[in-house]
Amino acid sequence: MTSQPIPPSSLPSFSKASEPMIKVEGLRKSFNGREVLKGISFEVFPGEMLAIIGPSGCGKSTLLKLITGLLEPDAGKITLNSEQIGLVFQGSALLNSLTVRENLALALRERKLPKREQDKAIMEDLTLVGLADYIDSFPTQLSGGQQKRTSFARAIVNDPQIILYDEPTTGLDPVMSTVIEDYMIELEKQLHAAGIVVTHQFSTWTRTAHRAILLNQGVVVWEGKPHEALNSTNPYIIQFAKATREGPMLAGKV
C-alpha cells in the first residue's frame, strides 16, 4: 500500500494572503527533565490542513495539547486567530454519562441558544456525520467508528475556525478509516477552518492534508506536500513513508 505513488491532492484550495490562523514559534516542552519538543515552528492558514506525522511517542499529542491550552509550553509562542477550537481526541473522549445529544449540547452551552435552535444545530451536525438516528444513544452503545464520528460532531458543532484531529483513524479498520478521512475532507470544504491532523497512518496524511511536517526526536526533520514525499531526497521522510527499517529514524533504538 505504501509503495503506491501518492496522487496529488484534490482538496479544496486556500490562500496564504490572509493572516495565519495558527502560528507556532520555537515551541519547547519537557516532561520530568526529558525534552519532548525541542523548538517547533509552523503556520497554518484558513482552509489549510496541516498533517503532523511522526513515530509514536514523538510528542504529537503534546503539541495539540499545547495549542489547545491544556498544557503550558516551557518556551515559545502560540498565536491563534480564533477562540473557536474543535479538538477530536484520540480516544473520542465522549462523556459516558451523557447521551449523544447532551454531549453536543455541552459544547454549545456558551452560546445560550434557545432549546429549539440548539436541537436544530445538533441535528444538522449529526446528520452530517450520519448519526441522526443515534441522537439519544449513550456513547457506550455506539461502535468505535460511531463514537469517533460523534466526537467529530462535537468538535464542529460550534463552527470552529480551528479544528484539530489527534490520530483520527488509528485503531480503525481500513474501510472505516476511509470513511473518516472522507468526512475530514468534506468538513474542510464546508468549514474552511484551519486544521491540524496528527497521525502516523499513511492514507490519512496523504489524503487529507495540504502539507505535512515530520517530527523526530522533538524536531522537524521534513516539511512538504504529501505527494512529494516519496520523491524527496530527505532520508527521514523516505523511511517514514516507505515504512522501512533502513534509515536515520530509530537508529540505535531497535
Ligand X SMILES: Nc1ncnc2c1ncn2[C@@H]1O[C@H](COP(=O)(O)OP(=O)(O)O)[C@@H](O)[C@H]1O
Using Cβ positions, the residue closest to Mg ion within the complex turns out to be 61
Give SS3 for 100: helix
Q: Which one of 28-36, 43-51, 88-96, 169-177 is the stretch in contact with other proteins (CB under 8 A)?
A: 88-96
Q: Does 57 bind ligand X (CB under 6 A)?
A: yes
**27, 58, 100, 122: which one binds ligand X (CB under 6 A):** 58
Judged by beta carbon distances under 5 to 8 A according to partner kind, the member of Mg ion, other proteins, ligand X, none in contact with residue 58 is ligand X
Residues 92-111 as x/- pattern, contact with other proteins by CB under 8 A = xxxxxx--------xx-xx-
Nearer to other proteins, 81 or 138 (CB): 138
**12, 23, 119, 138: which one binds other proteins (CB under 8 A):** 138
95: closest CA among 106, 104, 86, 103? Answer: 103
Contact indicator for 216, 39 with CB cutoff of 8 Å: no
Contact indicator for 53, 200 with CB cutoff of 8 Å: yes
**68, 178, 232, 234: which one binds other proteins (CB under 8 A):** 68
**Which residues face 201 on adjacent strands?**
none
* 123-149 CB burial, b ≥16 within 10 A, e <16: eebbebbebeebbeebbeebeebbbbb
Nearer to other proteins, 136 or 186 (CB): 136
**Angle made by CA atoms 163, 199, 39, in degrees to the nearest 5:** 80
**62, 150, 158, 216: which one binds ligand X (CB under 6 A):** 62
Q: Does 59 bind ligand X (CB under 6 A)?
A: yes
Nearer to ligand X, 17 or 251 (CB): 251
Nearer to ligand X, 126 or 172 (CB): 172
Contact indicator for 76, 35 with CB cutoff of 8 Å: no
Give SS3 for 241: helix
151: CB partners within 8 A, 6+ apart: 88, 89, 92, 93, 94
Residues that bind other proteins (CB under 8 A): 65, 68-70, 85, 87, 89-97, 106-107, 109-110, 138, 140, 154
